[in-house]
Amino acid sequence: MPHSTFLRFILPSLAAMLIFIAAPIVSVIVQSLHVEHAQVLKEAETCDPFSGCKKTTTVDVAATAKLRAQEPLGRFNGLGTYLDRAHLASAEVAQAWAASTSVGEFGSRLMSLPFYQAMAFTLTYTFVVTPFVIVLGMLIALVINGLPAIFKGPTIFVSLLPMIVTPLIGSMVLFWMIDARGIIGSSLQTLTGDPNLSLKASPILTWVTLIIYGVWHSAPFAFITFYAGLQSVSTDTLEAAMIDGASRWERLRYVVIPHMAPLVVFVMLIQLMDNFRVFEPIVGFSAAANASSLSYNIYNDLAKASPSYGSAAATSMLTVLGVAVLLIPVLVRTWRDFNSRRVS
Amino acid sequence: MTVASRRSPLLIAAGASFVLIWLVLAAFPFAWTLWGSFKVQGDFFSKADWTYALKGVRTLAETGSAFTGAGYEGAWIQQGFWRASLNTIIVVVFTVIISLIFGTLGGYALARSGFRYAFWLLMAALVFRAMPHVTLVSGYLLPFFQWNLWGHLPTSIIVLVAINQPFTLWMLHSFFLNIPRDLDESAMVDGCTRFQAFRRVIIPVMWPGVITTGLFSFLLAYNDFAVTALLLSQENQTMVPKIASFMGSTQVEGNVMFAVAAVVSATAPLFLLIVFFQRQIVGGLMTGAVKG
Amino acid sequence: MKFKKLLIAAVIAVAGGQVAYASCGITSGNVSIIGNDFPAIQAMATAAKACATTGVTVSTNLTTEHEKLHRASLSANPARNTVSIVATSSIVPLLQDGLLRPLDDLVAKYGQNLRPSQLIKIDGKVMAIAFMSNSQHLFYRSDVLAKAGVQPPKTYEEVLVAAKAIRTAGIMQHPFAMNTKTGWNLGEEFINMHLGMGGRFFKAGTAEPSINDDVGVKTLTMLKDLVAYSNPDFLTYDSNATQALWESGRVAIATMWGSRAGAILDGKGSTPEIVKATALVGAPTVGGGATPATTLWWDGFTIAKNISNADAEASFRAMMNGLTPANVAANNDAAVWLANGYTPGAAARGVIASAQAGAKPYPMEPAMDAMHTALGNNLSAFLQGSKPARQALSDVEAAYRTAAKAKGLLQ
């Protein structure tokens, strides 16, 4: 396809992405390399309704405004924000390494740094939820595919429910259900025989709860994708395999699964990306005490009275970098596929 | 397509019980919410005893009957949730249509390009998708306020279209990869320009893929919170931010049951959508499903 | 004759009142309000909207996301909102960016109805008009305390004694609750307790942190002792959770926001026994100090700088329409109003008691937001028992320093 035709076709889409994603990303990168100007503080009299007038520290607006007018972006900080304690914490990590006598001790020192604490949960969540979603989605697809036709419609529609309810309220309702006095919480207490069991109090149980929610919420996406793929498995190949005496499991392993491989790659791509940016469950389940993620840290930076834009920008770029690293195996495979398609 | 074979009764039993367990797990929270939306807060969110939600103890005490429509009435009439639903319909319809137009054109070009830069564009799109939405939207605020673009529905529509383009492009480009090149190439041999070939030959066969992508675009726009909560004003909010506004704040209790009733109302049309398009969806995913 | 005069006077009073309400006397201007979304502010916004006539447009955007929007909105030129309704903490970024205009001349012209205490002055200029106050204070169940044989607590030490007695008497296993959810809520509880202990957050005149000392440790110890009488899920307890616990009768002593008292006392979601026995008192003192361990918050309105003087004047007058004694009285129980026309009701008892006992206002220092965030995010491990107090405080200071340096408050 000649370049000019290509450009004409892709222009609307490209323009939208360039204006609303690429340009902001450049601005985010620039923002992450700067910090705010030094605020000039001064003592001034402040009057409030309760304690009358007294001297407090306030910002000298005129002086600070002058600085800002000279350099609107702020002070150039280079990679300083990326390496500060709230992000990669290079100085603190080196300190912890020097002061620790064992790997375990180093690990626990690392866990008191916000970025590594967030990474611990984010990576655990990503690498546990993704395979479970794929396996569960595949199982559901295979089983529903084998159902009699009348049952397929309703079961497909019910199976999609976890995906279509707004996560905001969905997780809030579940949060109350898993409370020690809620229906799921009390049932678990009866099942395990432990009257003091609380899913919200212990970090491990909170992580487990969030992971189970993650799998439950994302399985329908995998299911519907795989189910559709199953519709296009070649009946000839299957019949040939049967004639050759292949058992059910062998047919599954040698015919169905390879056919589904590209779909599995796609679902894995999307899931890795989305799970790495996990955020709604932590808010919905009030789990901040026990679990935090990169996206949650970004949200926290921006949802304050006085937002920290530079810090949020740096964490966002680290998220993008993290996603890129996670996707390398998938991308390599896609590159190979692309090249083979080009040649043919 | 069913493969005729001997199935052991054990396998059938295992399969059936697995499906049943999964269906219960998938449906239960929503069924519980549906039931509870007709109760008062003291029952559905009772910290005293969860069986209140079943029996409606406090609902009986506060309203005189075990079921109440107070949540629905409060959300739809008092708080004007109907306005939010209209806004959602507008936003979602336009987002899906524009998304699909941009996406089909772009996805087709990427599928037929044959040059290496197509691959790099797709990779760039993936990287774009990795950017957290809350950071992007925070960055939009200053320019939008400065140029008076904030608070208008068209702004949110175009932002939603743009933010979801990476996913749309990827999905559609894979569908187009599975439409044989010969179709449009023979049309071009017959004298059509690339666009005429696209219009005459490709469009008739691309519907399954488009419908599938349309469904995911629909869900992304329908359930979106990060963009619509920050770019729309109180007067033209869509459904999800409106539901969030029922939740109150630290200082003041909100109307949680309005939120519950609203969420049930918001999910109902999705059922209809899925029921009606269930066949098309599966058909769409089947022809040249996303091969990555 | 007298009757006729009275009748005419009455008609004029009614009609005059109506006329004043209908037009507010504003002839032209654009008023655009942004603020939080709760009943008191909704009442102000409704009154402001009543000023709309030909030539005067009034629009409102009340949303819980207002803090994310108002800085960008007021930075635009012209500002897209003319009025921003702020609280003690959310005014600080607007002040720092120089986005607000001084209101002294508008107050002189149209603010006769304002009490002097409502004028929020920074460096000698009126920057905001406060109209309501709020604070956390103590709620207790008089029936449960009576059953356990303890007196209503006046200090947090007495709260501990009472909680222990309730537990020993077998009435409740976890009788106490506070808004200890990780994040903003937990930070707020520390700040309240620390001020009660007489602690400081910064070294005088600077943004250098000074919480990692004995007073800080005492604050943390008291918090830990208190949460020992809370349900183990206490790190998920925000205001909705504590209110739900109260209304279901599962706690007997709680520190909650005064603005929640109205909802607690209205009987919905609760039983009549609980409502009757709910007592509101001012926040307790702690550590032998005389300052109640709480902070006082105000909500008020500000006017943007980047707007025309006509719009500013129209906005001020429209907002003042919400503060007429008639309007305040009509919405009496929506908040603890600071304006004329307010008669404190039962739900305001705790806030007023705390204020009268000398509770301190929430600090309006520029670095307070960074300190608050650092506190909220770094105390959970200590309360869960997996980090010692000094370590927690030094982590708070380290997190604060990082944020403060990025904001230019520290070098």
pLDDT above 90 as % of chain C: 83
pLDDT of residue C18: 43
User: Is pLDDT at B32 greater than 80 in this prediction?
Assistant: yes
Q: Which residues of C touch A298 (CB under 8 A)?
A: none
**Given CB atoms, is B132 within the 8 Å cutoff of chain A?**
yes
pLDDT at B209: 78
Pair B59, B88 in one domain: no
Q: Do C95 and A50 lie within an 8 Å CB cutoff?
A: no
Domain for residue C411, yes or no? no
Stretch among A10-24, B192-206, C147-161, C276-290 having the lowest mean pLDDT: B192-206
Which of C181, C355, C369 is closest, CB to CB, to A50? C355
Tell me: do C238 and C303 sit in the same domain: no
Is there a contact between A228 and B286 if contact means CB atoms under 8 Å apart?
yes
Classify each residue of C339-370 as buried b or exposed e, where b means 16 or more C-beta atoms within 10 Å of its C-beta.
bebbeeeebbbbbbbbbebebbbbbbbbbbbb
Q: What is the mean pLDDT of chain A?
A: 88
Residue in chain A lying closest to B216 (CA): A221
- Confirm whether C53 is domain-assigned: yes
Which residues of chain A make contact with B192, given a CB cutoff of 8 A?
none
3-state class of B61 per DSSP?
A: helix
Contact C398 A198 (CB under 8 A): no
Q: Is the pLDDT of residue C403 over 80?
A: yes
Smallest CA–CA distance, residue B241 to chain C, in Å, is: 9
pLDDT at A228: 77
Domain assignments of chain A as residue spans, ordered by start = 114-336
Look up the CATH architecture of domain A114-336. Answer: Orthogonal Bundle (1.10)
Give chain B positions within 8 Å (CB) of C268: 40-42, 62
The rounded distance, in Å, linking the Cα atoms of C161 and C269 is 29
Domain-ending residue, one of B56, B73, B90: B73
Note the pLDDT of residue A344: 44
C104 and C78 part of one domain: yes
pLDDT digit string, tens, across residues C72-123: 999 998 999 999 999 999 999 999 889 999 999 999 999 998 999 999 999 9
Q: What is the predicted pLDDT for the residue at C7?
A: 54
- Shared domain check, C193 and C61: no
Q: What is the mean pLDDT of chain C?
A: 91
For residues C154 and C253, state if they share a domain: yes
Q: Which of A138, A166, A177, A238 to mutate to test the interface with B (most CBs of B within 10 A)?
A: A166
B161 and B32 in a common domain: no
For residue C109, being part of any structural domain is answered with yes
d(CA C148, CA C359): 29
Give chain C positions within 8 Å (CB) of A201: 232-233, 235
Q: In the predicted model, what is the mean pLDDT of residues A322-337?
A: 85
Contacts of B2 in chain A (CB under 8 A): 146
Of the candidates C349, C13, C12, C396, the one whose C-alpha atom is nearest the C-alpha of residue C199 is: C396
Residues from chain A that touch B121, judged by Cβ atoms under 8 A, are 10, 14
Answer whether residue C378 is part of any domain. Answer: no
Question: Where in the sequence is the domain holding C261, given as residue range(s)?
Answer: 136-293+355-361
> What would the pLDDT profile of B233-261 be if each residue is shown by its tens digit?
998 999 999 998 888 888 888 888 898 89
In whole angstroms, give the CA distance from residue C392 to residue C232: 20
Per cent of chain B over pLDDT 90 is: 36
Choose, out of B234, B240, B243, B256, the residue to mutate when testing the contact with C (most C CBs < 10 Å). B234
Choosing among C122, C242, C372, which should be mutated to test the A contact, i.e. which has the most A CBs within 10 A? C122
Chain-chain contact of A21 with B132 (C-beta, under 8 angstroms): no
- CATH of residue C77: 3.40.190.10
Clarify whether residues B49 and B148 are in a common domain. no
Question: Taking all residues of chain B, what is their mean pLDDT, rounded to a whole number?
Answer: 85
Per-residue model confidence (pLDDT) at position C5 = 57
Residue-level pLDDT at B281: 57
Q: What is the mean pLDDT of residues B204-222?
A: 84
How far apart are the C-alpha atoms of C21 and A102, rounded to whole Å? 74
Confidence band (pLDDT; 50, 70, 90) for C16?
A: very low
Q: What is the pLDDT of residues A61-73, one digit of tens each?
A: 888 888 888 888 8
Where residue B283 falls among pLDDT bands split at 50, 70, 90? low
Q: Are B275 and B263 in contact (CB under 8 A)?
A: no
pLDDT over 70 (residue A180):
yes
C265 and C214 in a single domain? The answer is yes
Instruction: Using the predicted structure, report yes or no on whether residue A52 has a pLDDT greater than 60.
Output: yes
Task: Kindly report the nearest CA distance between residue B43 and chain C, in angstroms.
Answer: 8
Cis, bond preceding C78 (omega within 30 deg of 0): yes
**Same domain, yes or no, for B40 and B182?**
no
Range of the domain at B191: 80-291
pLDDT above 70 covers what percent of chain B? Answer: 92
Touching subunits for chain C (3+ Cβ pairs under 8 A): A, B
Residue B16, C-beta contacts closer than 8 angstroms, at least 6 positions apart: none
Residues C127 and C230 in one domain: no
Q: Is A288 on the interface with C (CB under 8 A)?
A: yes
**Per-residue pLDDT, C17:** 43
What confidence category does residue B289 fall into, taking pLDDT thresholds of 50, 70 and 90? very low
Q: Give the domain-ending residue among B73, B100, B130.
A: B73
Which chain B residues have any C-beta within 8 angstroms of a chain C C-beta?
A: 40-42, 45-48, 58, 62, 138, 141-142, 144-146, 148, 150-151, 229-230, 233-235, 241, 244-245, 247-254, 256
CA atoms lying within 13 Å on the CB side of residue C124: 2
Query: Would the pLDDT of C388 be above 70?
Result: yes
Q: What is the pLDDT of residues C297-319, one digit of tens each?
A: 999 999 999 999 999 999 999 99
Largest CA distance in chain A: 93
Q: Which of C123, C152, C287 minimizes the C-alpha distance to C220?
A: C287
Selection from A67, B152, B147, A64 nearest residue C77 by Cα: B147
Within-domain flag for C2: no
Same domain, B87 and B232: yes
pLDDT, residue B11, reads 84
Q: How confident is the model at residue B163 (pLDDT cuts 50, 70, 90)?
A: very high
User: Do B248 and B256 meet the contact criterion of CB atoms below 8 Å apart?
Assistant: yes
Q: Which of C69, C179, C240 lies closest to B141 in CB terms?
A: C69
Same domain as B69, residue B132:
no
- Contact call for A58 and C123, based on CB within 8 A: yes
Q: What pTM was computed for the model?
A: 0.91
Say what the pLDDT of residue B57 is: 81
What is the least distance, in Å, from the CA of C64 to any CA of chain B?
7
The confidence score (pLDDT) of residue C141 equals 95
Q: Final residue of a domain: which of B53, B73, B93?
A: B73
B250 contacts on C by Cβ (under 8 Å): 179, 184-185, 238-239, 257
Same domain as B276, residue B144 = yes
User: Into how many domains does chain C fold?
Assistant: 2
- Give yes or no: residues C145 and C231 share one domain: yes
Confidence of residue A120 (pLDDT cuts 50, 70, 90): very high
Say if the Cβ atoms of A182 and B32 lie within 8 Å. no
The reported pLDDT for the residue numbered C19 is 39
